Amino acid sequence: MIHPRTIVFEPEAVSALFEILEIMTDQLMEGNMHSRWDTEAVFELQMRLAGVGDGEPVEMGIDDAALLLDGMAFTEVMSVDFTFFQMVQWTSDFITGELRSHWTEDEWLAYVGR
């Protein structure tokens, strides 16, 4: 875990993050995305979020957040033809802001540039 943070998410945010991880898991189980996502990291993060109760903190690293953001981007692209695409975009914007806010811009730049 890189640059760990203890974060308390709103229940709706935990639900949205878990939904993204379920989509990622489905893709991995179908044999897709193995070259893009670390299967163990996806399952480990899914287990960590599954145990989060209402208002309870969860420890996440910037690498966990980046994994979720990538899964969310995949979900958004795959949803472009659905009638509820605007809701997917709104949720993506909300989650992106929520996840990115726990690390500085310099930390994000350093992580991406590594």
Distance, CA of 105 to CA of 99 (rounded, Å): 12
Residue 16 sits in which domain range?
Answer: 5-113
How many domains is the chain partitioned into structurally? Answer: 1
Residue type, 72: M
Instruction: Give me the pLDDT at residue 61, please.
Output: 96
Long-range Cβ contacts of 39-47 (<8 Å, 24+ apart): 41/67, 42/67, 42/71, 45/21, 46/18, 46/21, 46/22
Are 39 and 28 within 8 A, CB to CB? yes
**Entry pTM:** 0.85
Listed as ranges, residues in the chain with pLDDT below 70 are 114
Nearest to 41 by CA among 24, 27, 17, 58: 24
